Each structure stands twice: as structure tokens, then as C-alpha cells.
Amino acid sequence: MLLTRIGILALVLVTLIVAPHARAQQSVQGIAAVINDEVISVYDVWARLQIVISSSDLPNTPQTQQRLIPQVLRGLIDEKLQIQEAKRLGVEATASDLKRAKADLEKQNKLAPGTLGKFLAARGVDENALEQQLKATMSWSKVRRIRLRKKFRVGDDEINEAMARIKANKGKPEHLAAEIFLPVDNPREEQKVREIVARLLKQIKAGADFPALAKSFSKSASASSGGSLGWVIEGQLDPELEAALNKMEPGQIAGPVRTLSGFHILLLRKRRQSAGLLAGEPLKVNLQQTFLPLTRIATNVAVAEASRRLTETTKDAKSCADLDRIGKDLGTTMSGSLGTLEITKLPARFQQVLAKLPDLTPSPPVRTEQGMVVLMVCSRSGGTSEAMARDRVKNMLLNKRADKAAQRLMRDLRRDALVDIRL
């Protein structure tokens, strides 16, 4: 019922938007919809329409507007529900969140700091409308991260199983992919959602920007990153999506692909052979050291004094160049660069220190057979440690569960909402 009324509203709104100026100015102040007693105005729909058209490189014609309005209004309704739920949970986007998001947009568009407003105005985009979209995106991200993700626990057995699966995929194809996802919460909506996906596909094939449409219309967690799924391997996605990706060529679009939860549009960017998890491949570190000589039979007092001296002289070092200079000032020949080494081939006491040591930070003094050293990691390269790999897999599993929970919550919010289309 809701989607049918939105389709009717599209025709009404296009008539208002392209009406003579005076009439249009009066019309856009009207109410397009009421969501749980909160209003979406006709102007809200128009302003979001301008964002979508501008960011997607689509022609701003009545025909384009009519095709987009059903998706735009549906998206605004979802955003209203998301902001309402975030407010109820106490995790709304803050002013500092908004400031960071706008700064990120300036960087993405290669704009000088503080010039986003002028950039938008030149394209006929209302900055307030963009801010509302950013607030909804950030608020829902907080709901997912703070309220949903923390509900789940991932056990060692699950991590082991996932790691084994990833390692088993070494040498098999993996895909750099992106998606636009529209859920089907009710069987009665199936055909209408399919029609929306078909319109989006038509716009993409006509030259519309895929990431921009994903940000505006996709309902998956990847929407905020332009639909990017990153590199995916066998077992990460629904079987229907994997089957579609395996048949695609890089640069190709596919869809609509029906899964249990809804319809997907897929973009395959690249394909390569999986390198596996790289968990067993050692990290390489480029090391610098400052050294003070001590004999094996040095007294505890001498060891303590060397430790104190090294701590005091290296505490302010912020780079490997600083540590190199300190070593030269001390005049010890064994101070200097150690080059790039595999961390697993270093002494155990060094491995323990380096595992927790941030880059470009002097280590606590470490006793060796020849003396006392302070180490600094100039850079790291190569694989990941087992602990790092397990943590990465754990986060992947938690994020997947949080994504599913967010989809279920959104479905429930839509089902329970009081939605009144006024036009």
C-alpha cells in the first residue's frame, strides 16, 4: 500500500516541482508524508532529489525526477525512522560528527577546507538537506556499532572455522565488488521493489554514478562507503551473489539478484587470486636501536644505571632519525639501523617488546648479552601476526551479525511505523 501511494505521489510531486515558479514556491512548503507524527515536506523531497541528481551525474529533467521520486521518498522515510530510533537509544550524531563528515566530503571532492557550502550552492544543492542525510547515516551507523554490535559474542571455535575457510581459499578467485541492496520486507512489495531496482539499473547503464546511487538508495551497511564490499571470497556472501559474481567480468553490472532478504545490484571492479589470510607469514620490521655496552657479569647497579640513562636520553625521540642522532651522541658503535628483519627471527624478548610497541615510539630498555638497547620500529611490512589475523576475523564476524541485526531492526521499524502519505 505504501509503495503504491508513493508511485502516485511521484506524479504529483513532478507536477509541483516543474510548475511555474510562484506556484512551486508555495507548493514545496506542503507536507509530503508524516512518519510517526514527524513531517517530511515536499521541499525535503525536492532538496534530496537535487542531491541525488547532482551526485549521480544524471540529467535534471522531469523524466529523471519522476523515475527517482519513489526511491527518494522511500529513502527519506527510512532515514526518518532511523533518526527516531537513534534518538530513542540516545546515540544521535553530534555536531563534531557532522563537522568531520563534511570535512571528509571536502577531501573526497578535492575542495579547500570550509568551501563545501559554496560547492553545493553552485550545483543547486541545499546544504541543510545534505546535513540531514549525513546525520541519518551517522546516527544509524552508531546504532549498528554501539547498540547492536555489542550484543554479540564470537567464540574461538567460530574464529578458527572462519580462519580455516579463508586459508583454504588461498589461490582461488576473489572479487572486489560493490552492491546496491533494497530489502523486501513484505511479499506484497516484491514487484514494486523489483521495479525500483530496474529503474536504478537503467540509470546506472545510462551513466549514473554507482557509488552515489548506493549512498542515496542502498539499505545495506556498505551504503555509506558507496556500496563497497571490499575483496570478498567464497563463503562471505549469499550463494546467489557468489554465483552472479563468478559469471561477471570486471567492470560489469549485474542485477537484479534476488536473495532471501531482497534485491541486489552488483558491480564487479576487479578479480584476483586470493592470497589467503597471510596469518602464517611473518611481519617484517625496519628497526633502529640505541645501544649501551654492558658485560654479562655487570652488577645490578650497573644494569639499573644503564637502563635509567637510556630511558632518559631516548624518551623524547619521535622518529628513527632522532634515535640515530641519540646513538651517535652516545658514541656507541652498535647504535644505528638494524635494517628490515623478519620479526619471527628476532630474539624472543625482542618479539615480545615489538608486538605491543607502536611505530616510531622508543621501547623500554631491553637487556641483551652485550648490553642494553632501546628499539624503535621505523615501519612494518609483510603479513599479519596470528593475533592480528584473529582479531580481524573476529571483527568481520561481528560486523556481519550487526549488519543482519540492523536489517531486521529496520524491517521492524517499517512494519510498526505510522506512515501517512499526504499527497
Q: Give pLDDT, residue 8.
A: 45
Indicate if 236 and 290 belong to the same structural domain.
no
Q: Does 2 score more than 60 pLDDT?
A: no
| CA angle centred on 295, ends 292 and 299, rounded to 5° | 100
Listed in order, strand segments (DSSP E) in 361-422 are 366-367, 371-382, 419-421
| CA angle centred on 342, ends 338 and 346, rounded to 5° | 70
Indicate if 296 and 376 belong to the same structural domain.
yes
Tell how strand 228-232 and strand 173-183 pair up: antiparallel
Task: Report yes or no on 36 lying in a domain.
Answer: yes
Task: Report yes or no on 162 lying in a domain.
Answer: no
Indicate if 180 and 140 belong to the same structural domain.
no
Indicate if 136 and 11 belong to the same structural domain.
yes
Q: Using CB atoms within 10 Å of the CB of residue 281, give its burial: 0 to 12 exposed, 13 to 18 middle, 19+ buried.
A: middle
Which domain-ending residue is among 274, 295, 313?
274
CATH number for 267: 3.10.50.40
Q: Give pLDDT, residue 346.
A: 86
Indicate if 110 and 220 belong to the same structural domain.
no
Q: Give pLDDT, residue 281.
A: 52
Counted domains in the chain: 3
User: C-alpha cell of 211?
Assistant: 557509488
Task: Report yes or no on 194 lying in a domain.
Answer: yes
What kind and span of H or E run contains 318?
Answer: none
Report CA 40 to chain centroid distance, whole Å: 28
Which domain-ending residue is among 238, 253, 274?
274
pLDDT digits (tens, 9 = 90+) for 109-157: 888 989 999 999 998 899 999 999 999 999 998 998 888 888 888 899 9
Indicate if 144 and 7 belong to the same structural domain.
yes
Task: Report yes or no on 156 lying in a domain.
Answer: no
Q: Give pLDDT, residue 29.
A: 65
CATH number for 50: 1.10.4030.10
Determine if the pTM surpasses 0.85.
Answer: no
pLDDT digits (tens, 9 = 90+) for 26-41: 455 688 899 999 999 9
Matching residue, cell 650497573:
302
pLDDT digits (tens, 9 = 90+) for 193-206: 899 899 899 989 88
Q: Give pLDDT, residue 11.
A: 46
pLDDT digits (tens, 9 = 90+) for 227-286: 999 888 888 889 999 999 999 999 999 989 999 989 999 999 999 888 776 544 557 889
Q: Give pLDDT, residue 264.
A: 96
Indicate if 268 and 328 belong to the same structural domain.
no
Q: Give pLDDT, residue 20.
A: 41
Indicate if 266 and 310 belong to the same structural domain.
no
Task: Report yes or no on 107 lying in a domain.
Answer: yes
Task: Report yes or no on 207 lying in a domain.
Answer: yes
Give backbone dihedrals phi and psi of 204, rounded to 5 degrees, phi first. Answer: -65, -45
User: C-alpha cell of 272?
Assistant: 584476483
Q: Give pLDDT, residue 22.
A: 41
Task: Report yes or no on 178 lying in a domain.
Answer: yes
pLDDT digits (tens, 9 = 90+) for 96-118: 889 988 988 888 888 898 999 99
* 5 vs 410, residue with greater confidence: 410
Q: pLDDT category, 63, cuts 50, 70, 90?
A: confident
The chain-wide mean pLDDT, for the chain, equals 85
Strand, coil or helix: 181: strand
pLDDT digits (tens, 9 = 90+) for 289-329: 999 999 989 899 999 999 999 999 999 888 998 899 898 88
Task: Report yes or no on 157 lying in a domain.
Answer: no
Indicate if 208 and 70 belong to the same structural domain.
no
Indicate if 6 and 141 belong to the same structural domain.
yes
Q: How many residues would you count in the chain?
A: 423
Residues 56-85 have a mean pLDDT of 88
Distance from C-alpha of 169 to C-alpha of 332, rounded to nearest angstrom: 49
Listed in order, strand segments (DSSP E) in 221-345 are 228-232, 253-258, 262-273, 283-293, 336-342
Longest dimension (CA), the chain: 95
How many CB atoms sit inside 10 A of residue 365's CB?
23
Indicate if 141 and 226 belong to the same structural domain.
no
Indicate if 42 and 134 belong to the same structural domain.
yes
Do the Cβ atoms of 295 and 306 come closer than 8 Å?
A: no
Instruction: Provide the residue range defining the domain that includes 353.
Output: 283-382
Q: Give pLDDT, residue 421.
A: 82
Which domain-ending residue is among 216, 242, 274?
274
Strand, coil or helix: 377: strand
